[in-house]
Amino acid sequence: MSDNIFNTASPNTKSERNTQEFHLLEDRFADIQLLRYQLDGFDNLSLQQKTYLYYLSKATLAGRNITIDQNGRYNLAVMQVLEAIYVDYDGDKTTDDFIAFTTYLKQVWFASGIYHHYSQDKFQPKFSIEFFQAEYAKIPTEKLPLKDKQTREQLYDTLSRVIFDANFMPKCINQNPNDDIVMTSAANFYENVSQSEAEQYYKNLNSENSNEQPSWGLNSRLVKENDALKEETYSTQGRYAEALKEICYWLRKASDFAENDEQKHVIALLIQYYETGNLAIFDQMSIAWVQNAKGQIDFINGYIEVYGDPLGIKGTWEGIVHYKDEEATKQARQISESAQWFEDRSPVDARFKKKSVQGVTANAVCAAMLGGEEYPASAIGINLPNASWIRAKYGSKSITIDNLIRAYQQASLQNGFYDEFVDDPQTIEWIRQYNDQCDNLHTLLHECVGHGSGRVLSGVDPNALKAYGNTIEEARADLFALYFLADEKLIELGLLDNPKAFEAQYYTYLLNGLMTQLARIELGQQIEEAHMRNRALIARWVMANSDGNVALKVVNGKHFLEIHDYQKLRQSFATLLCEIQRIKSEGDYDAARELVEKYGVTIDADLHQEIRTRYNTLNIAPYKGFINPLLIPVLDNEGAISDIRIDYSEPYDEQMLRYSRQYPFQP
């Protein structure tokens, strides 16, 4: 039974929308809690801005099936069959089989596929194969996703193996250094290609003596046919053509309502990139996007982050539309305008510093629509573009997504977490007083100046760190933020009013890295996800190299964190930051591998069991994500948009089924 306390009455007027009770907690299943996020200040936008945002939102949703397919070649077929069963099911909905089936389908929706969005392990169904077989038999043939001359029996054999055989394609991303991580990963970026073949292929492309090369492989699938490697490029003429045509359609509609010519130029380049698949045009678009700081509305749409590729080369499709939170943006701009100050005073070797930090634009924003890899689980801070040479020459844009952060923080109020995992009442009070504020500042520092800091030495292959690149980059940005969170500069800027406020974030960061994030991982598993590896690496390295300054103590059979000197801890962060930046700047693969494998991967089994047991007593879902609002155009008598209405009441399953109907595009 879901914890649905949201007021499902749909408001019909602007007055009703402004006064409706907004409940945050929504559906809950497996290890997931769904939340609502509110579009604060939306009614203050002009009709042109609302319309622009509406069309951009349609483009954000249209790429949904791209992400699902990238996460595994069987994902779309599995989802379509599960949805057909769910929609037409006429049996007893209180049976264990149907309840377990519904949970599994919701997990597949949430993860954009059959693999957990953090652990990368394949979901194990708790409904019986007999239930699946019986319900599959009821699906009309015309509703089955049959390809070529495939029979319904052949499709059943394939899907039953995919769903129920735990040993068949068990991981979306395999990071075990002893395996061929390309061949043993189910992520749909390669076909019949080995790790060594893929690495050599892209090493050859990057061998050109130029520091301004495109991000080769970002928007393609590498396959081997007749012993020859070739790329299936994503474009309106290639793979994902139908979805990309739909995205371009809505982008063109949006362009007519853009706030300025610069936004129109960015959209025109993005459309040209989607139509051609030319990565050089993507770079042109990225530069134009960075340089356009005008307007209140902005968006991200494309193959961006490479966490979904075991080699960290290929981008997963994502979309997000947002508008500025002008009041909250003041903090972000104070930090971004001091970017050179932070860079000059970074503790890293002078060889690895930027002499001139270019164009760091920072805004606090409200998300208006999430799509692809950003939905239902979303980042709360983003810094782009990822190409190092564009960042060095033209700068970067950084956003912190305030309405998502607020939703997370409100959902965690009074959940008993710190009472269970912190044994000192004074520390608990300090955390409650300052941690939300410092956590927000840590995100700002991480995104605004952390990712934009430092430089890669000339001639270093951008993929030199291979599978460890994502973890090292996130550790670098986190350490930069942690180091400067304790700096008097934040007091000077008026961002903190207590010089010891940072201690709350230092404590909770290490607590998470050493202990509490283990609650998210199944017993017997290792740490797989890059951000979790990063936090574990930092926390464990610090504890191992702090001469007892950071330690775990046992009280009444439970482990607790103790920190003796916070300024010494800051220096530990500085020491590790120096090494992490050196690894990044020099492309030192061996050192990256040693650090990550030693500190960021393995888990102490006894501690893991303890943390899971303690966490389970709190009845907190370890993962959270979001249900999108429904943006509804209000039309006048001539059929023109006269307003955009927000409806927060759409249930999770109805939203997912609607997206499947509206955006059914196949690769």
User: Is 603 inside a domain boundary?
Assistant: yes
Rounded to 5°, the CA angle 403-407-411 comes to: 170
Size of the chain, expressed as the number of residues it contains: 667
Residue (of 307, 321, 325, 407) closest to 371 by Cα position: 321
Contact 611, 515 (CB under 8 A): yes
pLDDT for 553 equals: 97
Question: Does 597 map to a domain?
Answer: yes
Reported as a single tens digit per residue, the pLDDT across 61-117 is: 999 999 999 999 999 999 999 999 999 999 999 999 999 999 999 999 999 999 999
**Pair 403, 600: CB distance under 8 Å:** no
Q: What percent of the chain has pLDDT over 70?
A: 96
> Is 1's pLDDT higher than 60?
no
Ramachandran sector of residue 459 (left: φ over 0; alpha: ψ -120 to 50; beta: rest)? left
DSSP state letter for 6: S
Q: Are the C-beta atoms of residues 644 and 54 closer than 8 Å to each other?
A: yes
The DSSP bridge pattern shows strands 381-384 and 396-401 to be antiparallel
In a domain, 251, yes or no: no
7-32 mean pLDDT: 53
Phi, psi of 559 (to 5 degrees): -85, 140
- Residue 588 is assigned to a structural domain of this protein: yes
Q: Which domain holds residue 607?
A: 412-617
Please report whether residue 607 resides in a domain: yes
Please say if the pLDDT value at position 350 is more than 70: yes
Interior/surface letters 89-124, b for 16+ CB within 10 angstroms, e for the rest = eeeeeeeebbeebbbbbbbbbbbbbbbbbbbbbbbe
Provide the residue type at 566 as one letter: Y
With cut-offs at 50, 70 and 90, classify the pLDDT of residue 3.
very low
What mean pLDDT is reported for the chain? 94
Average of per-residue pLDDT across 594-609 = 98
> Is residue 415 very low, low, confident or very high in pLDDT (cuts 50, 70, 90)?
confident
pLDDT at residue number 211: 78
> How far is the C-alpha of 635 from the C-alpha of 626, rounded, in Å?
28
Model confidence at 19: pLDDT above 60: no
Predicted confidence (pLDDT) at residue 20 exceeds the cutoff of 70: no
On the CB side of 93, CA atoms within 13 Å amount to: 9
Which residues are bridge partners to 362 per DSSP?
398
Region 528-556: mean pLDDT is 97
* Better pLDDT: 138 or 463: 138
Candidates 78, 88, 77; CA nearest to 145 is: 77
Residue 314 has pLDDT above 70, yes or no: yes
State pLDDT tens for residues 480-535.
999 999 999 999 999 999 999 999 999 999 999 999 999 999 999 999 999 999 99
Predicted pLDDT at 209: 64
Q: How far is CA 40 from CA 287, 523, 541, in A?
A: 30, 40, 41
SS3 category, 634:
strand
Q: What is the pLDDT of residue 548?
A: 97
238-277 pLDDT, tens digit each: 999 999 999 999 999 999 999 999 999 999 999 999 999 9
Give the alpha-carbon dihedral of 306, 307, 308, 313, to 10 degrees: 30
What integer pLDDT is reported at residue 22 of this predicted model?
55
Does residue 448 fall inside a structural domain? yes
Rg over alpha carbons for the chain, rounded to the nearest Å, is 24
Give residue 148's pLDDT.
87
Alpha carbon 532 to chain centroid distance?
Answer: 12
Give the total number of structural domains in the chain: 1
Opening angle at CA 231, ends 227 and 235, nearest 5: 155
Residue 75 within a domain = no
The three-class DSSP label of residue 302 is strand
- Of 8-17, 196-205, 416-425, minimum mean pLDDT range: 8-17
How far is it, in rounded angstroms, from Cα 624 to Cα 411?
9
DSSP 195-213: HHHHHHHHHHHTTSS-SS-
Q: Is the pLDDT of residue 25 over 80?
A: no
Residue 189 has pLDDT above 80, yes or no: yes
Choice among 1-15, 46-60, 301-315 with the minimum mean pLDDT: 1-15
Q: Tell whether 337 is covered by a domain.
A: no
Distance CA 155, CA 163 (A): 12
**Does pLDDT of 566 surpass 70?**
yes
